[in-house]
Amino acid sequence: MKHFTHRALAVAILLFSGLAMYGQRSVVPQGGELHPNPEGVPCLTDEDYDFYHQAVAENITNLEAQNKRAFNVNRASQQVLFDWPIAQADGFDYNSTWAISNYVDHNTSFPNQISDWDCGTRSYDTGGGYNHQGIDIYTWPFWWKQMDEDQTNIIAAQAGQIVYKNDGSFDRNCAFNNDQWNAVYVEHSDGSIAWYGHMKDGSLTTKSVGDMVEIGEYLGVIGSSGNSTGPHLHMEIYDSNNNLIDPYDGNCNDLNSSTWWSEQKPYYNPKINTLLTHSAPPQFNFNQCGVTEVPNDSDQFTPGDDVIVAAYYRAQQNGTSVSYNVKDGNGDTVAAWTQDFTDTFGSSYWYYTVPTTSVEGVWEFSASYEGETVTKTFNVGQLSVTDEALIQLEAYPNPASDQINIQAAVPLRSLVLYDISGRILSQEQAVNDFKSTIDLSAYAAGVYFINANALNSDAQMTIRVVKQ
C-alpha cells in the first residue's frame, strides 16, 4: 500500500538555462512532486495471508479433484519469465501511465530497516513486523481519473491458470481497512503463482477459477481496493514451493539468484509519462480521498491565449536535464528552455505558461529527457468548419444502459464501436445523418469507444462512453 502526498516546489530546486521566449513571462515553473509515502500500514495482514494462501490451496485441490489443474509437477516447465504486468488501454495516448513506489523489502528486521533488490530503500516495513513482499506500480498522472476511465490495465505477465479471483470490494480506499482486495491469482507452467491485487471493482476478467489466460491477456484495471491508499497494482510472486520470489536480479536479492523478468527494467527508469496542454492549472485534489482530478487539459486555443504546457515525469533524477521547445503553426520556435533537476522524485509534474501569437495552425510542444523526445500538438485559431462541428459530437446518456444516442453538428458517414482492447464490436457504415443510436445491450459494463467519421470530409473523432 502507499500514501500520496504533494510537495509544491519552486525555483529553489530548479535552474533554468538558455531561456528564450517570445513575449517572455515568469521563468519560475509551477508544480512539484507526487510522493508515495507508506504510512506504516501493511498491504496485507497476517490474517490476509493465511486466508489467501488457504483459498488458493483449496481451489487447487478442487481443480485436481476434477482433473482440471493445468500444472503437473511431473511435466513442470523450467522457470518462467514475466513480461511487464501493466499496459495502457487502446484509445489513450500517454507516453507511459505508471511509476514504481515500492519493491520487496529484503531486510527482515524492523522497523525502518529496509533493503530492496538493488540495496536501496524503495520499500517499507512496519513496527508490527510486516515487510513489503511485492512490487507496487501506481498510475501517474491523474490516478483517480485513469481509474475512472479504465486507462491502465493489469495484464497477465505470464500464461497460466486462474487459481483465485475476488471481485466486488470497494475500490476507492485511502487508508487501512478490513476489506478484501479485488484480485486475480495465476498459476504458471512451473508451478509459480503471481498475485495481482488492488483491482478496480467490476473490472476483472470474466474468466473464472480454472480458466486459462495467455501472456499479455487482460486481467483487470488498476484500482484501490483492500488495504490501499491510492490506485496501484501490488504484484506478489511465489514459486512452486510457496516461497516468496523477488523477480528482480540484484546484489541484495537474497530470495532467488536470477531475474524472473523477460526484460528487467532499470532500478529508476526515468521517463516523461506525458506532455499535456492546459487552459488552467491541473487540479489534483491531493488531500481528498477518491476525488477525481480535474486536469483542465485542452488542445484548442485562440491566438493570444496563454497556454499552460506541462510535463509529467516518473523517477525524475537529480543531475539530469530536460530541454523544452514550443513551435508555432509555421514551425518556428517561439519558446525554448532547459530545466535542470536537483532532486530525485518518484513522480513529478512541472508546468509553464507560454503566450501564443497571431500565427494560427497546429503548434507543437516537445520535451527531450534521458534520450527520448516526446511531442504534444495543439491547435491555435479556428478549426475547419467540419472539424469544429465534429468537436460538438455528443453521446447521451453517458453512462448508458442498453442504448446510447449519437448527435453531431455535421452529417456522419460511419460510426464504429470498439472495446478497450481495440476490438471492433459493431459498425454502421452508412449513417448519412446527424444522429444515430448504438445498441449496447449485448455488452458487459465498462468503458467503450465510438469513432465517428464525417460524411463530407476526412474529419473524425473518438469519444469514450461507459456502459453501466
pLDDT digits over 347-384, tens only?
999 999 999 999 998 899 999 999 999 999 998 987 65
Q: Region 418-422: what's the mean pLDDT?
A: 76
Q: pLDDT tens digit string along 296-343?
A: 999 889 999 999 999 999 999 999 999 999 999 999 999 999 999 999
Q: Region 187-196: what's the mean pLDDT?
A: 98
Q: How far apart are CA 96 and CA 84, in angstroms?
A: 13
pLDDT at 74 over 60: yes
pLDDT class of 1 with cuts at 50, 70, 90: low
pLDDT at 125 over 80: yes
Span of 81-90, 125-134, 209-218, 444-453 with lowest mean pLDDT: 444-453
The Cβ-side half-sphere exposure at 383, using a 13 Å CA radius, reads: 15
Give the residue range(s) of CATH 2.60.40.1930 domains in the chain. 16-28+271-380
What φ, ψ does residue 254 adopt, rounded to 5°? -100, 10
Q: What is the pLDDT of residue 40?
A: 62
Torsion angle, alpha carbons of 290, 351, 338, 25, to 10: -170
Q: What is the pLDDT of residue 430?
A: 74
Q: What is the pLDDT of residue 26?
A: 44
Q: How far apart are CA 126 and CA 41, in angstroms?
A: 7
**Burial class for 420, CB neighbours closer than 10 Å (0-12, 13-18, 19+):** buried
Q: What is the pLDDT of residue 446?
A: 84
Q: What is the CATH number of domain 16-28+271-380?
A: 2.60.40.1930
Q: pLDDT tens digit string along 19-43?
A: 454 444 445 788 989 765 556 678 8
Q: Region 431-454: what's the mean pLDDT?
A: 87
**pTM for the whole structure:** 0.83
Could you tell me the three cell numbers for 118? 538493488
Q: What is the pLDDT of residue 24?
A: 43
pLDDT class of 389 with cuts at 50, 70, 90: low
- CA torsion sign for 19, 21, 23, 29 is negative
Q: Region 174-189: what's the mean pLDDT?
A: 95
Give the residue range(s) of CATH 2.70.70.10 domains in the chain. 46-245
Characterize 290-310 residue by residue with b for buried, 16 or more Cβ atoms within 10 angstroms of its Cβ, and e for exposed: eebbebebbebbeeeeebbbb
Q: What is the pLDDT of residue 396?
A: 85
Span of 9-18, 89-98, 301-310, 424-433 with lowest mean pLDDT: 9-18
> In angstroms, how far is the first alpha carbon of the chain from the final one?
29
Q: What is the pLDDT of residue 10?
A: 33
Highest mean pLDDT among 24-33, 146-155, 278-287, 420-429: 146-155
**DSSP conformational letter for 57:** H
Sheet of 271-278: strands edge to edge? Answer: 4-8, 30-36, 345-355, 306-316, 271-278
Q: What is the pLDDT of residue 410?
A: 80
pLDDT at 13 over 60: no
CATH match for 385-467 among 3.30.420.10, 2.60.40.1220, 1.10.10.10, 3.50.50.60: 2.60.40.1220
Q: What is the pLDDT of residue 386?
A: 56
Give the residue range(s) of CATH 2.60.40.1220 domains in the chain. 385-467
Q: What is the pLDDT of residue 385?
A: 54
pLDDT class of 178 with cuts at 50, 70, 90: confident
pLDDT class of 390 with cuts at 50, 70, 90: low
Beta-strand pair 361-369/372-380: antiparallel
Selected residue with higher pLDDT from 418 and 321: 321
Q: What is the pLDDT of residue 432?
A: 80
Residue with cell 499479455: 216
AA letter at 332: D
Residues 6+ apart with CB under 8 A from 110: 125, 126, 127, 128, 129, 130, 131
DSSP 385-400: HHHHHHTT-EEESSSB
- Picking from 143, 204, 166, the residue whose alpha carbon sits closest to that of residue 55 is 166
Q: pLDDT tens digit string along 342-353?
A: 999 999 999 999
Q: State the average pLDDT for the chain.
A: 89
pLDDT at 9 over 50: no
Residues 6+ apart with CB under 8 A from 187: 60, 70, 71, 160, 161, 163, 193
Selected residue with higher pLDDT from 51 and 39: 51
Q: Region 205-218: what's the mean pLDDT?
A: 98
Q: Region 232-252: what's the mean pLDDT?
A: 98
CATH 2.70.70.10 fits 46-245, yes or no: yes
